[in-house]
Structure 1
Amino acid sequence: MKDSSPIILIDGSSYLYRAFFACPPLTNSKGEPTGAIFGVINMLRSLINQYKPKHIAVVFDAKGGSFRNELYKEYKATREAMPDDLILQVEPIHKIITAMGLPLFCIEGVEADDVIGTIALHCEQRGIDVLISTGDKDMAQLVSDKITLINTMTNSVLTPQGVVDKFGVPPELIIDFLALMGDKSDNIPGVPGIGEKTASALLSALPGLKSIYENIDEVANLSIRGAKSLKEKLLTNKDEAMLSYKLATIKTDIELDITAEQLQPKVPDMSQLSELFAYYGFNRWIADINNNKFINLNGDGAEPPAPVAAQPAKNNVTHHQPESTVKHSMIKVEQGYETILTHKELDKWLDQLAKAEQFAFDTETNSLNSTDTLLIGLSFCIEPGKAAYLPVNHFYLGVPDQLPLGEVIAKIKPIMENEKIKKIGQNLKFDCNVLAQYGVIVKGLTYDTMLESYILNSNNRHDMDTLALKHLNHQTITYTELTKKGNQQFSIDEIEIEEVSKYAAEDADVTLQLHHSMWQQLKADSKLADIFTNIEMPLVEVLSKMETTGVLINKELLIEYSAELAEKLKQLEEEMYLLAGEEFNPASPKQLQKILFEKLSLPVIKKTPKGDPSTNEEVLTELAHDFELPKIILKYRGLAKLKNTYTDKLPLMVSPKDHRIHTSYNQTGTITGRLSSSDPNLQNIPVRNEEGRKIRQAFIAPKGYKIISADYSQIELRIMAHLSKDKGLLAAFEQGKDIHRVTAAETLGIPEDTVTSEQRRNAKAVNFGLIYGMSAFGLARQLGIARKEAQFYIDRYFERYPGIQTYMEETRQLATEQGYVETVSGRRLYLPSIKSSSAIERKGAERAAINAPMQGTAADIIKTAMIDINKWIEQRNNDDIRMIMQVHDELVFEVKESLVEQISKEIKDKMENCFKLSTPLKVDAGIGDNWDEAH
């Protein structure tokens, strides 16, 4: 190695963990984790393109322990096992690194540190400069005039003086430093009671572990805090200190059969890299390969390898390269970002927006409550790299003059309400709700990047920061970076307009470019594009209208009921204390463990990962079959949750503007396509018990109106009949029979008219339980019958409905082969754990594979119904009917009292005919003065 450039040694194991925990949990189109792959390769690229090394090695820990485990069995014993999602990414990382032409080493019996230390010392002795890339502080012991550390994530370099500045000791005392203070991450014991500052102070006075023990009597006289007790600590734990010294020492003399030639990078295999990147979804890197920008090891100016076209991934799954990754690369052009502060600037931008076919926009607000917040500003972007921010409500000393809010609203209103101009946004519903407060009803909602991401893979995160990193390879300015100054958190309206302008304009710019990237992928699959265009995007306007309308609440009724629940809870507490023989906190697992399993000696059903008896709901439910105290605890917890979540909080959430509650519906909150709601969560108010129904009584109709509740009947069983094509199930629904009574008669071999209520109840448990993957054990526990009897029910069920069993088996197999299942509409539901080495995870994924198509199809059906009904409501062009809530398979409306019977029939008809299945859809509709009466 005669070249003067430094050799680069990379601690791959350090990269692995740092990337895994620092990067967002990205996944590819099959739902496989890719965040660590992205992070590791990004760090490698950055380092290589900066230094263009002639010699390099990427070193990983090999499987199994090292010689240190023989010295000390507890070495690294406290470390948690590598997360499954990270394990799945190790092999792909190795493959990509090898395809990049980088030498990769895993040496058994030693750690990556030892391999790096041996190579580094060998080079140092021969006068060769070494750059070690790691985040591991142990490596500081190797630093010298020839050996430097670099932290790729922070881009900081550690020289000999840097080691002193950081740790308070020079490199040659780092081992002694670690031996004294120990290392929790590696479970190196050290000397108990000696931390970083004490260790540094000790070594400053007595340089080295050996020197400390040779002069142990002097330790008490040192000007160190707690010096008098140090001598005893050091003597008592001398063996631990000496052992720690050995454990912390990086071996620099291991036998390595590595030549200088093996450390030379090879020409990257761009064809293999393109194939790997297509499979794992790194389309941006494919574009970099085609533009000769992915990796540059040609410091001498030689021509880089020719670009290679993206190859289709293996296993018969085609991954399309977004055209936009080449045409719309993410370039931060701050000179293209403007701040609109004058009438002339505003008119210029409004003219451009009015002439544009489409544009991206975003709102900045002072809270996340979209129906009750202050508009701080708006940003717009028409083409990549060029965006503008329009401030309207900034407040701080010296703030520049802003255009009057009323004038701004009046000017942007015609453009925002123009249906012909396509609008692009990230979470458009929020922006629509904000502008609706100012009388602007946004039309032309065409593309929402959050929803584009959701349709591509519902398992992924869909926030802008994550999407920009994944699709544009771009790190955005985060809200925290913008608003947190030191230890102080500011509101966005208190930040200087110039700073907010960069942040807000970037939001609009990134949104536009994300759309360009993701829309290409969606268009490649006509079913996904259809779901996005005809279900998810039209639903944005529907949900926005529902959220801004809200639902009327009887506050006084909730306050009264909250006091009633408080009394009930007090009574239950007294009963619990009497049974336990002492007072305790029913919400404390530790106190419950002591009462149930130590004091009362109840049987331990399940243990926590730490080995303690579990007190979770499943365990308490099991114990409640035979013991009174667990039964009361469960009831107490249920009532306490209702009180804390609803009766106490709902009155506080009523808007002073209209005396209504405005929930927020989340289109991306579940992986199946189902809607969820928050602030408040309306999905979890119980309907089957008295307490839940009392809360629903507080959701009332305004004067002159009634509440209509329209609920799909047995929708998931009907979808199962459609998917499985089982003749018996289809016939029962076609004939309008009671499916649970039919199932009971079929499985028991008795006439339908002789089925008892208990037999029907058992059949209902079987019908719903099996589509959720319930086992014989689970069914037996639910029905309170013997496992053998439960198995009899299941066996007879599948004998009578063989199509269902065939469907389940075929679905499991298909899910395992392709990694996803589909709804009737073609919505894809990825199953990342379907091939997991963990049997529990794999079985869970198999259950999800059977259930997800039903839940997802049910979601598509009710969303389609909402869109159709909303169009019908708009055509009526009056205030006779308002859609106010969606809860699972139920829609809730406020309807003029004089029209309820007629409108109820029309709602029922539209819901039953909005979606075609092999079996008819059925809707039950009820009318009342409140939600409980109507349901």
Structure 2
Amino acid sequence: MSKTVTIIDTFGFFFRSFYALPQYLKNSQGFPTGLLTGFTNFISTLQKQHDSDYLIFAIDSKGPTFRNDIDSNYKAHRVAPPEELMMQLPIAIEWIDKMGYKTLGRVGYEADDIIATVVHFAKDKGYNVRVVSHDKDLFQLIDDGKVVLVDAIKKKVMDEDACLEKYGISPKQFIDYQAILGDSADNIPGVKGIGKVGAEKLLVEYKTLDNIYANIDEVKPPGIQKKLIEFKADAYRSRELVTLREDALDSFDFEDYKMDVEHPFLNIYDELVKYEQNAILRTLQAKKMVSDETHQRAVEKIETQIQSDKKIDFKTTLITDEKELNRVLGSLDKESVVAFDTETTGLDYESDSLVGFSFSFEHNEGFYVPIAHFYLGVPEQISRDAAAKAIKKIFESRVVGHNIKFDLHFVCRFLQESKLAIFADSMILAWLVDPEGGLSLDKLSDKLLNHQMLSYKDTVKKGETFAGVALEDACKYAAEDAVITLKLYHLLLEKLEAQGAKHLIKEAAEVEFPFIQTLLTMEREGIALDSAFLEKFLVEVKETLGDLTAKIYALAGREFNINSTQQLGVVLFEDMGLPTGKKTKTGYSTNEQVLSLLKDEHEIIPHLLEYREVYKLFSTYIEPLLKLASTDKEGRIHTSFVHTGTATGRLSSKNPNLQNIPTRTKLGTKIREAFIAPKGKKLIGIDYSQIELRLLAHFTKDEVLVDAFKSDKDIHRQTAVALFGEDAADAKRNIAKTVNFGLLYGMGQKKLSETLGITTKEAKEIIEKYFNSFPSVRAYFRQIVEDSKEMGYVETLLGRRRYFDYKNAAPMFKAAYERESVNTVFQGSASDLIKLSMNKIHRVIEDEKLDAKMLLQIHDELIFEVDEEKADSLGERFKEIMQSIMELNIPLKASMNIGDNWSELK
């Protein structure tokens, strides 16, 4: 199914929202709230529809744009907006970020150019685009089946027909229409004396501005002809001014703008109370998403905030003198706890560089050391040599960071060292305190310290890097990071003790913090990619897509955009008359579930399903992987592992996500062939066998399960025997396998019936028989749920906790908590085991200087690159470490495969 991108013309929407609602709307403190009310209504509508995959808030950047270079009068005389609007605007912009969404802008460009650029990238990917705006300048982007404008106030969609109805011309003519007409509000001259009717008539007859002037001698009446000739330069300058740029960004990753914020209003609940957004508050309370107690706490918090300024007092000190730097660092010893943070030119540790660093060892003072700021008139900074000595001195103490893995990448490269010792990470501690809470430094500061931090976007100008920030401003921002990190570190230790989870302080020191070093090394190593193979595969995939496209067109009887859900819906359900469900506002649903149900209705459906699968691999994996490999001098792919990305503790990866490459398809398998062992090397894959079921046997001590694993029997066949008898066991082993794993993940009778293609009654009978056959399993599951309700949390093997607020949860959430409590014990404990194994193997490789690299973790599997001659011996050794990492009631078992590429490891 083609994805949908929603782009908000942010300031345009806010202005329209401000004027659309009554100006008398204010909270009890007299603060205007009309714009904020319109915004919350809009977000509420978006959440209800949820028919978009990506959501982008395009914004204007401060300062002149390239259009001012074309014409210095451009927008020179715009009237200042009303004060009440300007009071609300920064709050609404902040809410975007706080709710979990993102803004997008760039210095030198307007929001409309950003929108046009994103539309360009979206169309390249075959995505559909909805631009939320009433701005006529954006009509030039309309492209039926691909791009439409949406008036969020009037709830109206503007497509090519709407453009033709309103202006008498097509969207493709709109640039030339504006070039003739001009825009007095923006000081765009146009052709003086020609209005809307005249511009429309000219374009209906001559189609384009160029064609008008190519036939200028034929233009009638003479008065219009004269004006066109006299103001020709103005017309072409106007066309240049109104043409939206598609090159405002060099590249764009839609995955950074996923519309996956489940409950955005909960993130700004206190502010909804402050600005009295009562309609939304009532909805949240009616849905039981917040309790009366939570609401009262928010009210009390706001009342307190009104009486006090939301800031912590501390000193920030800029150090640009080497002697002063040495004097300050002279206060440190090996027992000193020092919060450390870096400022860099960007987020890519391979291509970006260190700009400066901050540190704090006193609760109320932070220091910033600039190294590589670059702007006109920049004062003298600390030399690289002096900075290197200072950083080494700091790392002789107990260094604490917030997401310090990021900082270590830059600092290790700066110092040309492979490893630096760390003491703690406040982000990890925050995750252990609340694995489902926000973990960013600013969110934790706001939540736990009641301190609102300086924002990056207010410190660094759009389109620039931290290197361009004035030293004084950089110091305020960077030193604050270090101070807040230190305060959070001590506070989070107190919180763990207050939760009765002091054991997690030890777990963090022994497992989680060393794991940072393990992941750091894996990220640095990367995995080799055979670009030549992948390029050849790319050609094959393009040919496959071409063949499928031709077949689909032939069966449909016409050409259309296969990636457009709207066009596909029309083809399938109107042109071809296939049976369909209810039509939505945006057209017919053509998602995978709908198409799967139509498999037997027409031969076009299997081709469409195959096309989508192939296109996803092409756009999500093949092209991005080739691009990433081309930027690495060794042609290796470096994923980023997210330590705190899940509540259960399971590791995830991003940029690129190598854990989600499909495993059950030929194409997915072929992509894995591109990940290779370099010459003289081999890849080793070691996979835990049925680790969660083994944990089930360990925790429940069920005699049948324990005996099966101790005797190395086929656990799925043993389950099939218990459920269906000896004679049917072999035939129904797969059903038993589905039940074994499904029940661990909270699969109920409805889901089981859908998965197995049986009735819910049959599914219920199977589940009942399973629990009757393994009574200790049922009892253990019940015990987990009862304990989670009584204590408010469950624990994994290593004592990591996941908390459940049953008291304030709606019934729907309570049922989900019950499933998740069981799942967390097993998936979380499995994560503990593989994390322990990874740490131990990392230490062995490092201590013994083995010719081996740990490259990837794919859930229960580890992938290594080793010397070809030592592959068997090292593989067996690593396998033994994984199998003996912890003594359980049953043996842990792992399987090993050796190959020249990833696909050979299964």
Smaller-chain TM-score bracket: 0.5 to 0.7
Which one of 318, 322, 347 corresponds to residue 339 of structure 1?
A: 318
Distance 1:573 1:730 in 2: 53
Task: Name the SS for the 1:703 alignment partner.
Answer: coil
Please tell me the residue identity of whatever aligns with 1:745: V
Matched, 1:669 2:669: no
Aligned to 1:235: none
Which among 828, 837, 841 is matched to residue 865 of structure 1? 837
Decide whether the 8 Å contact of 1:835 with 1:842 is kept in 2. no
Match of 1:646 among 621, 635, 647: 621
Change (3 A) 1:481 1:641: same
Partner of 1:198: none
Distance 2:494 2:294 in 1: 16
Residue aligned with 1:657, SS: coil
Match of 2:218 in 1: none
Q: In 1, distance between residues paired with 2:740 and 2:87? A: 61
2:396 corresponds to 1:425 = no
CA 153–714 in structure 1, closer or farther in 2 if over 3 Å, else same: same
Moved over 6 A (4+): 76-79, 81-84, 149-155, 184-189, 276-283, 293-297
Deviation at 1:187, TM superposition (A): 9.1
Question: Equivalents in 2 of 1:697, 1:507: separation in Å?
Answer: 43
Of 360, 367, 370, the residue aligned with 1:388 is 367
Give CA-to-partner distance per residue, 1:681-724, whole Å, 9 cap, x none. 11111222221121112211223221111111111222223334
CA distance in 1 between partners of 2:791 and 2:600 (Å): 42
Q: Deviations over 1:5-57 (max 9, x none)?
A: xxxxxxxxxxxxxxxxx9xxxxxxxxxxxxxxxxxxxx99xx99xxxxxxx99
Aligned residue number for residue 437 of structure 2: 460
1:175-197 deviation per Cα after TM superposition (whole angstroms, max 9, x unaligned): xxxxxxxxx999999xxxxxxxx
863, 867, 873: which one aligns with 1:902: 873
The answer on whether the counterparts of 1:527 and 1:825 sit within 8 Å (CA) in structure 2 is no
Corresponding position: 1:738 with 2:707: no
- Alignment-mate amino acid for residue 474 of structure 2: V
CA distance 1:701–1:819, shift in 2 (3 Å): same
- Measured after TM superposition, the shift of residue 380 of structure 1 is 1.0
Q: Could you tell me how far 1:885 is from its partner in structure 2?
A: 1.1
Distance in 2, Cα, partners of 1:573 & 1:833: 51
Q: Contact 1:709–1:927 at 8 Å: present in 2 too? A: yes
Is 1:563 matched with 2:534? Answer: no
For 1:82 and 1:577, how far apart are their aligned partners in 2?
34
589, 601, 612: which one aligns with 1:637: 612
| Partner Cα distance (1:547, 1:457) in 2 | 26
Q: Secondary structure at the match of 2:767?
A: helix
How much has 1:823 moved relative to structure 2? 2.0
User: What is the CA deviation profile of residues 829-876 of structure 1, one whole-angstrom value per residue up to 9, with x for unaligned ones?
Assistant: 23468964464x554443323222221111111111111111222221
**TM-score w.r.t. structure 2 length?**
0.65
Instruction: Mark the structure with the bigger radius of gyration.
Output: 1
Match of 1:516 in 2: 490
**What secondary structure is seen at the aligned counterpart in 1 of 2:338?**
strand
648, 653, 658: which one pairs with 2:634?
658
For residue 104 of structure 2, what is the aligned residue in structure 1?
Answer: none
Residue 700 of structure 1 is matched in structure 2 by 676
User: 2:476 is matched by which residue type in structure 1?
Assistant: K
Please give the secondary structure, in 2, of the residue aligned with 1:649: helix
The aligned amino acid for 1:635 is: E
Q: Percent identity?
A: 37
Choose from 512, 524, 528 the match for 2:504.
528
How many angstroms does 1:576 deviate by?
2.3
Moved more, 707-716 or 432-441: 432-441
Query: Where in structure 1 are there 5+ consecutive unaligned residues?
Result: 1-21, 23-42, 49-55, 60-75, 85-136, 141-148, 156-183, 190-224, 227-275, 298-328
Find 1:855's aligned residue among 821, 827, 832: 827
Aligned equivalent of 2:746: 773
The alpha carbon displacement at 1:815 in A equals 3.8
Q: Is the contact made by 1:686 and 1:692 (CA closer than 8 Å) also made in structure 2? A: yes
1:618 aligns with 2:593: yes
1:807 to 772, 777, 780: 780
1:553 aligns with 2:534: no
Q: Could you tell me which amino acid in structure 2 is paired with residue 379 of structure 1? A: S
Q: Distance in 2 between matches of 1:745 and 1:613?
A: 46
Please state whether the residue corresponding to 2:853 is helix, strand or coil: strand
Provide Cα deviations, 1:341-370, integer angstroms capped at 9, x if missing partner: 122122223323456611011111111112
Question: Could you say what secondary structure the match of 1:437 adopts?
Answer: helix
Listed as ranges, the gaps of 5+ residues in structure 2 are 1-13, 15-25, 34-39, 49-81, 93-150, 157-194, 197-290
- What residue identity is the alignment partner of 1:515? Y
Aligned partner of 1:761 among 734, 739, 743? 734
Aligned to 1:913: 884
Kindly indicate whether the alpha-carbon contact (under 8 Å) linking 1:834 and 1:846 is maintained by their aligned counterparts in 2.
no
1:197-596 correspondence to structure 2 within 5 Å: 331-333=312-314, 336-354=315-333, 357-416=336-395, 418=396, 421-438=397-414, 439-484=416-461, 488-524=462-498, 525-596=501-572
Alignment partner of 1:927 is 2:901: no
Higher mean Cα deviation, 516-525 or 668-677?
516-525
Q: Deviations over 1:246-290 (max 9, x none)?
A: xxxxxxxxxxxxxxxxxxxxxxxxxxxxxx99999989x99x99x
Q: Which amino acid aligns with 1:722?
A: H
The amino acid across from 2:382 in the alignment is L
Count of aligned pairs between the two proteins: 655
Distance 1:444 1:587, change over 3 A: same
CA distance in 2, matches of 1:386, 1:398: 27
Q: Is the 8 A contact 2:345 2:466 kept in 1?
A: yes
Q: Contact conserved, 2:322 with 2:386, CA < 8 A, in 1?
A: no
For 2:43 and 2:644, how far apart are their aligned partners in 1?
34
CA distance in 2, matches of 1:396, 1:625: 66
Q: Deviations over 1:422-479 (max 9, x none)?
A: 1111100001111121214453322211111111111111111101101111111111
Which AA in structure 2 matches 1:593? G
Cα drift, residue 903 of structure 1: 1.2
Distance 1:369 1:81, change over 3 A: closer
Closer/same/farther in 2, CA of residues 828 and 602 from structure 1, 3 Å limit: farther
Q: 1:747 to 1:875 in 2, by over 3 A?
A: same
The one-letter code matched in structure 2 to 1:794 is I
Q: Is the 8 A contact 2:578 2:601 kept in 1?
A: no
Cα distance in 1, alignment partners of residues 365 and 297 from structure 2: 25
Distance in structure 1 (CA, Å) of the matches to 2:582 and 2:882: 45
**CA 1:810–1:331: 2 relative to 1, 3 Å:** same
Answering whether residue 864 of structure 2 is matched by residue 893 of structure 1, we say yes
* Partner Cα separation in structure 1 for residue 873 and residue 883 of structure 2: 16
Aligned-partner Cα distance in 1 for 2:479–2:895: 49
CA deviations 1:550-595 (Å, max 9, x no partner) are 1111111111111111111112222222333333333323223323
Aligned partners of 2:645, 2:392: CA distance in 1, in Å? Answer: 31
Taking the aligned partners of 2:636 and 2:43, their CA distance within structure 1 comes to 51
What amino acid sits opposite 1:863 in the alignment? K
Structure-2 change in CA distance of 1:854 and 1:620 (3 Å): farther
Shift, 1:731, TM fit: 2.1
**After the TM superposition, which residues 124-139 of structure 1 pair with which residues of structure 2 at under 5 Å, given as runs?**
none
Provide the rounded CA distance (Å) in 1 between the counterparts of 2:795 and 2:588: 40
Q: TM-score, normalised by structure 1?
A: 0.63
The whole-number CA distance in structure 1 between the counterparts of 2:808 and 2:586 is 28
Offset, 1:805: 2.8
What secondary structure does 1:696 align onto? helix
Q: What RMSD, in angstroms, separates the aligned Cα atoms of the two structures?
A: 4.2
Deviations 1:854-911 (A, max 9, x none): 21111111111111111222221x2411111111111111112222221111111111
Residues 49-97 of structure 1: CA deviation (Å, up to 9, x unaligned)? xxxxxxx99x9xxxxxxxxxxxxxxxx999948999xxxxxxxxxxxxx
